[in-house]
Amino acid sequence: MSEATGMTDIEELDIKRADPQAKRRRKPFPNWLYAVLFLVFDFAAVAILQWGVTMSSTRVELSSPLVGLGDLIAKMFTSANFVLVLNMILVGMVYAVLLMITNRFWIATPVLLAVAIVISVIEHFKVQIRYEAILPSDLGFLGSNTGNLMSFVPAGWQWMVLGAAAVFAVLVALCVWLNHIDARHGRMIRGANPGLNAVVRLLLVLCPALFFGLYAVHVGTVGSWANTLSSVLGDKPSMWDSVYDAQRNGPVVAFVRQLNPKVMDRPEGYDEETMRELAARYSDAADEINGERAEYLNESTVIFVLNESFSDPSRVPGIELNKEAIPEVDAIRKQTTGGLMLSSGYGGGTANLEYMSLTGMSIANFNSSLTSPYQQLVPTQQWTPSVNQMWGDAENSLGFHPYEPSMYSRSTNYKKFGFSHFYTLEEPDVIAHQDTIDKSPYVCDEATYRSVLDEVGSTDANQFISV
């Protein structure tokens, strides 16, 4: 082994025999240069992935501010937030595995960049069409609906693909040129003992792969080492908006965080026999309660309204009103069953209250790591119980949400709940009335209720309508 060139004697002799002047023209890249190039291409892969979720959109302006790669860089210096470094660490682990598997720097690098470009283009398409980042639940789609992939591609997609191909071609050309001037040709492990080389490469595959795997398994659990590491480096989950979450924390961190969230601690004594006894107890109680009932809830149309903009100011302590604030609601409440309810939250986390209302499952029963069932739980479930299913066929269940369907993955979840239509501001089911108040960008309650009433009279069947 030559200390000056870092090459084996055989490699050096072969170069001299082929071209006596080759040694002066081509020198092997030193290890420190490979380390620098590793960081450069690692950053490039993260930048490419970040581009996939960073795009101008009126929907982004309505919901969350646009966060790009520049913001991730800037906040390292303005607020000591190093989530960009965390993304580079995770991508770097994958990069290291590719390097050791191929044992060629100039093969592993274009492979990594190719994967990053493909993911970024797919993510860009999904954000453009559905304003939703790639989620772990999408992996199941690839196995069962590959034939329908083209239906999710936006108009003009060919130019995007051609642009991505051109960028990749430039990067490949760069790697080919660097490989040409590098007499080492990117070989990572070059010892004289093949057996020892194989052992070293295996260890250098297992170590980063094990780190990445353990991180993915534990990062979704509050208090775990991986979750603590993410928090220290600046990961701030924004579960209400998957695109903003990916922009703010990086698409790799946002994706991996949702791979294995801890949903619920196993209760003591939980087994099939215990659950059968519990089901029988409640079944007996239901038979007793319903014994003298002549009418049931699903024998009528129920309009369930979860309205975060509605309140009764007369209930606020210390306020006196000179007239009734909600006379129509009070009149209806006096004529039928009515009362008050205790909400477990207000001012945020709308979808969690929505989930609890539709499923009857309290967030308090879940592990604290589960901050958003709509994002972390429902998309991965094969079946989710919800109250609307008491009305039978999906045609009898309608949902109305006068905003973006992608927020909290509602468009996906309402299908899983068994709703035939989910009317929002976007296709395919566009809400009929979209009037606003003054300069507000939001659809007013009155317009929403008119949209609901239009649908109530469209069928003679009993319906469950969620608003």
Tokens of 73: 């860089």
What are the respective helix, strand and coil percentages of the chain, to the nearest 5?
A: 60, 5, 40
* Sequence-separated (6 or more) residues with CB below 8 Å from residue 67: 54, 244, 247, 248
Would you place residue 365 in the very low, low, confident or very high pLDDT band (cuts 50, 70, 90)? confident
- pLDDT at 3 > cutoff 60: no
> Quick one: CA dihedral 320, 324, 329, 331, positive or negative?
positive
What is the per-residue pLDDT across 95-132, written as a single tens digit (0 to 9) for each?
Answer: 999 999 999 999 999 999 999 999 999 888 888 877 77
Sheet holding 421-423, edge to edge: 302-304, 464-466, 397-400, 421-423
C-alpha–C-alpha distance, residues 190 and 197, integer Å = 7
Report which secondary-structure segment, H or E, holds 177: helix 157-181
- pLDDT at 4 > cutoff 90: no
- Asked if residue 51 and residue 162 are part of one domain, the reply reads yes
The three-class DSSP label of residue 91 is helix
Tokens of 10: 């055989």
* Sequence-separated (6 or more) residues with CB below 8 Å from residue 40: none
Q: How buried is residue 152: exposed, middle or buried, by Cβ count under 10 Å (0-12/13-18/19+)?
A: middle
Is 143 part of any domain? yes
Strands (DSSP E) along 180-311, which ranges?
302-304
Is 141 part of any domain? yes
Is 334 part of any domain? yes
- Asked if residue 315 and residue 243 are part of one domain, the reply reads no
What is the per-residue pLDDT across 194-230, written as a single tens digit (0 to 9) for each?
Answer: 888 889 999 999 999 999 999 999 998 888 999 999 9
Output 2 or 223, whichever has higher pLDDT.
223
Query: Cis bond leading into 428, ω under 30°?
Result: yes
- The whole domain housing 226 covers 9-257
- Asked if residue 235 and residue 338 are part of one domain, the reply reads no
C-alpha–C-alpha distance, residues 101 and 157, integer Å = 33
C-alpha–C-alpha distance, residues 232 and 246, integer Å = 18
C-alpha–C-alpha distance, residues 16 and 19, integer Å = 5
* CA 408 to mean position of chain CA atoms: 9
- Asked if residue 185 and residue 67 are part of one domain, the reply reads yes
Cα separations (Å) of 261 from 214, 221, 234, 246, 378?
13, 6, 19, 17, 12
Last residue of a domain, one of 226, 257, 288: 257
Backbone angles phi, psi at 464, to 5 degrees: -115, 120
- Asked if residue 62 and residue 202 are part of one domain, the reply reads yes
- Asked if residue 417 and residue 327 are part of one domain, the reply reads yes
- Asked if residue 315 and residue 245 are part of one domain, the reply reads no
Is 282 part of any domain? no
Is 269 part of any domain? no
Integer-rounded Cα radius of gyration of the chain: 29
C-alpha–C-alpha distance, residues 233 and 253, integer Å = 11
What is the per-residue pLDDT across 38-85, written as a single tens digit (0 to 9) for each?
Answer: 999 999 999 999 998 886 444 444 455 677 888 899 999 999 999 999
- Asked if residue 330 and residue 200 are part of one domain, the reply reads no
Tokens of 110: 């274009």
Last residue of a domain, one of 257, 281, 308: 257
In this structure, what CATH number is given to the domain that contains residue 392?
A: 3.40.720.10
- Asked if residue 309 and residue 253 are part of one domain, the reply reads no
- pLDDT at 267 > cutoff 90: no
**Contact status, residue 200 vs residue 101, Cβ threshold 8 Å:** no
C-alpha–C-alpha distance, residues 69 and 58, integer Å = 20
The three-class DSSP label of residue 182 is strand
C-alpha–C-alpha distance, residues 377 and 467, integer Å = 22
- Asked if residue 322 and residue 223 are part of one domain, the reply reads no
Number of domains into which the chain is organized = 2
Is 278 part of any domain? no
Is 39 part of any domain? yes
- Asked if residue 245 and residue 366 are part of one domain, the reply reads no
Last residue of a domain, one of 205, 223, 257: 257
Is 431 part of any domain? yes
- Asked if residue 128 and residue 20 are part of one domain, the reply reads yes
Report which secondary-structure segment, H or E, holds 167: helix 157-181
Would you place residue 186 in the very low, low, confident or very high pLDDT band (cuts 50, 70, 90)? confident
- Residue type at position 397: S
Tokens of 271: 């087994």
pLDDT at 126: 83
